[in-house]
Amino acid sequence: MNQEQAKERIEELRKQVEYHAQKYYDEDKPEISDFEYDMLMVELRNLEKEFPEFQSKSSLTQKVGGHVKEGFQKVTHEVPLQSLQDVFSIEEVEEYIAKIEQKAEENNMEKVMYVVETKIDGLSAALEYKNGEFIRGATRGNGLVGEDVTENLKTVKTIPMKLKDKIDITVRGEVFIAKDDFEKMNQEREENEEELFANARNAAAGSLRQLDSKITKTRPLDIYIFNVQKIEGKEFNSHYEELEYLSKQGFHVNPIRIYCKTMKEIEKAIEKIGEDRENLTFGIDGAVVKVDDLKFREILGTTAKTPRWAVAYKYPPEKKETKLKEIICQVGRTGVITPMAILEPVKVAGSTISKTTLHNEDFIKEKELKIGDTVVIQKAGDVIPEIVEVKKDKRTGEEINFEMPKQCPVCGAQAIREEGEAAIRCTGIECPAKLFRNLVHFVSREAMNIDGLGENIIQQLLDNGLIENIADIYMLQLEDIASLKKNGQKFAQNLVDSINESKQNDLYRFITALGIRHVGSKASKLLARKYKNIDNLMKAEFEDLSQINDIGPIVANSIIEFFSQEQTQDLIQKLKEAGVNTEAKEEENIDNRFEGKTFVLTGTLENYTRGEASNLIEKFGGKTSSTVSKKTDYVLAGEEAGSKLTKAQNLGVTILTEAEFQEMVRSGTGTNIPFLDTFGTGLSS
């Protein structure tokens, strides 16, 4: 592709990406799948990298920072970001409105108008624009001083980087995560065995305060603007008018704003928002009543903490009693078995609840739950239903104790709970509930390294019934794969070649691919080196395994439990029959130049990932560690190295630059080693 062609394609891609981003984020009417959108972004990003002369700050690819900061800079707000006075009853709202009306009468004001808005449950932020371009964003902080989160806010796709008018303006908004997005996030975190977010507000706040904007970019943050903090060269008479103006500038403005003249209308607006809150796509924690007239606001003024021209009505949390009819267990993609409460349907906060998660065995014991109990249900953060109380005084004696299963309810394999963990897991490698995750791991780069077999293709193979277990990968035919893509012959041939090539992998890759709990690539290499083939490893005894350095009793137990499963034995037999190598290859030209040396890696390396650098170190007999201590021999420091580098300097540990490390790798035995090609990265020295 020449320069002119690249320019045309980049411009075309930017238009497509902007169009589909608007359809997805602004209009909620996506016309293409998430995957197709991601592929457009990947192509655009690659072309901008190949032709840097066409890079632009306005491109959607430039809305993310690329480095980790040690901490946030502080921002002093020119106009304080105050909090609102909360009230908890309509009577308190009436009292507030009466005071406003009295103040208006004292100042000979005409009829006061009000705007009632949703109080969005998120994190407040100020956005600054200079000459119509976004220059800085900050959290509310203590109202006077906040944190500079500009790079993170650039990842929020609903924040315009450039306004229609070339104005100097500071606006305030609420950063939040929509209900559906929050549920998806927690579902993914549960599947990945990560700690769940307590509520959407905490998730949004934690996401916006990430030191690495790459992490923030993965979070589905959104924002609604609800106030003009400061503007130059333009004046407004009313709050409603300024919101209309902000909307025309490209901001996402709080969508629920009801114009009111009387207390009766205000009460109806609050009731209306309360009735509709379950149908809103975002979480709210109240309704805000604001004086509309901006000049009257100046007369009303503020206290040290709150404006006198607005008040926040908080809806009371709703709780309902119902019966716990049954407890069933679901199996997630990682094999975690989660108990689920089946309830007599009950309406809470506008939605009907018939089931809720019970998290784990400890939660059930802590609440002393029994099947048949009368329980109290509440929606946490107005999103997630949860059992908050057991009404023990309503027990009849017919309630039944519950015990977590000893076998997986999906495949029947042994279910275990390891010491120190709350989760109970299925151990079956062929369990249908775990199949997708097991497949993704099996073909991954550190495992069987089957190039081209990504998550999307795996899902298509499963959806089309072309594979039902891991071994079926090696039964795939050229025409099966080609059918997944239009004109997919070349792709299919490349994938078949990669699958066949993976049959010759060394034993350690095969062990890694099996996904034995606690056994990563490092432990797999130790096991392959000691046992030489998979049959010997399958027969290994606890005493023998636990004496291997870096294995220990926990890992040894995990290995024995894994190979004792019929599903494991069945899969390995199928893979053998498919021609997959299960023998360790002879190590040629053994070079232990790093034997007895411990390395710690920190920062970003230019020529390879940390995993690739670790492979090199282990290849030459060394070890890697995640922590720096007096026993550390070398710290390999890349760009943006942080606290580990500082600690190494304080302890007097030898610090290597990437260039020095490369020289050690190249010159160790006097030969010029193609240090990266050895590990299949496609790079060389």
What pLDDT, in 10s, does the model give residues 574-583? 999 999 999 9
pLDDT digits (tens, 9 = 90+) for 598-653: 999 988 888 878 878 888 888 788 888 888 998 899 999 988 788 888 899 989 99
Longest distance between any two alpha carbons in the chain, whole Å: 95
Which CATH number does 319-394 carry?
2.40.50.140
pLDDT tens for 181-226 read 988 888 888 777 677 776 787 788 888 988 888 889 989 999 999 9
CATH of 432-577, one of 1.10.150.20, 3.40.640.10, 1.10.1660.10, 3.30.460.80: 1.10.150.20
User: What tens digit of pLDDT does each residue of 521-559 get?
Assistant: 888 988 998 999 999 999 999 999 988 877 888 899 999
All CATH 1.10.287.610 domain ranges in the chain, comma separated: 3-62
Fold of the CATH domain 86-313: D-amino Acid Aminotransferase; Chain A, domain 1 (3.30.470)
Beta-bridged to residue 116, according to DSSP, are 258, 289
Q: What is the pLDDT of residues 369-381, one digit of tens each?
A: 999 999 999 875 4
Task: With a cut of 80, say whether residue 671 has pLDDT above it.
Answer: no
Q: Averaged over 329-336, what is the pLDDT? A: 85
| Residue 11 in this model has a pLDDT that exceeds 50 | yes
pLDDT digits (tens, 9 = 90+) for 148-157: 999 999 999 9
Q: What is the DSSP letter of 238?
A: B
Q: Is the pLDDT of residue 36 over 60?
A: no
pLDDT at 1: 77
**What is the spatial distance between Cα 552 and Cα 263, in angstroms, rounded to a whole number?**
71
Is residue 54 very low, low, confident or very high in pLDDT (cuts 50, 70, 90)? confident
**Minimum mean pLDDT range among 35-49, 160-174, 462-476:** 35-49
Higher pLDDT, 325 or 486: 325
> Exposed (0-12), middle (13-18) or buried (19+): which is 93, by Cβ within 10 Å?
buried
Strand order in the sheet with 123-130: 133-139, 123-130, 169-177, 221-231
Domain with CATH 1.10.150.20 in the chain: 432-577
Confidence of residue 676 (pLDDT cuts 50, 70, 90): very low
How crowded is residue 653: how many other Cβ atoms within 10 Å of its Cβ?
A: 21
**CA 529/CA 548 separation, integer angstroms:** 11
Question: Please, which pLDDT band fits residue 509 given cuts at 50, 70 and 90?
Answer: very high
Looking at residue 343, its pLDDT comes to: 94
Give the C-alpha separation, 494 to 500, whole Å: 10
**Per-residue pLDDT averaged across 67-74, rounded?**
56
pTM comes to 0.51
pLDDT at 183: 84
Q: Which CATH number fits domain 598-679: 3.40.50.11540, 3.40.50.10190, 1.10.580.10, 1.10.15.40?
A: 3.40.50.10190
CATH among 1.20.1440.80, 3.90.1150.10, 1.10.3720.10, 1.10.287.610 for 3-62: 1.10.287.610
Predicted local confidence at residue 571, as pLDDT: 95
Can you give the pLDDT at residue 30? 44
pLDDT of residue 680: 34
Q: In the predicted model, is pLDDT for residue 20 greater than 60?
A: yes
Instruction: Tell me the H-state helices in 277-421.
Output: 294-300, 361-367
Does residue 398 or residue 317 have the better pLDDT? Answer: 398
Q: Is the pLDDT of residue 25 over 90?
A: no
Of the candidates 129, 81, 80, the residue with the CA atom closest to the CA atom of residue 233 = 129
Q: Is the pLDDT of residue 26 over 50?
A: no
Going by pLDDT thresholds of 50, 70 and 90, the confidence category of residue 33 is very low
Portions of the chain given CATH number 3.40.50.10190? 598-679
Every domain range in the chain assigned CATH 3.30.470.30:
86-313
pLDDT tier for residue 50 given thresholds of 50, 70 and 90:
confident
Give the model's confidence band at 672: pLDDT under 50 very low, under 70 low, under 90 confident, else very high.
very low
Mean pLDDT, residues 162-167: 94
- pLDDT value of residue 604: 86
Assign 455 to helix, strand or coil.
helix
pLDDT at position 136 over 90: yes
- Looking at per-residue pLDDT, the higher value among 62 and 59 belongs to 59
Q: Is the pLDDT of residue 293 over 70?
A: yes
Intra-chain end-to-end CA distance of the chain, in Å? 27
The answer to whether residue 644 is catalytic is no
**3-state SS, residue 138:** strand
119, 157, 290, 644: the active-site residue = 119
Query: What's the pLDDT score for residue 344?
Result: 93
Burial 328-345 (b: 16+ CB within 10 A, else e): ebebbbbbbbbbebebee
pLDDT band at 64 (very low <50, low <70, confident <90, very high): very low
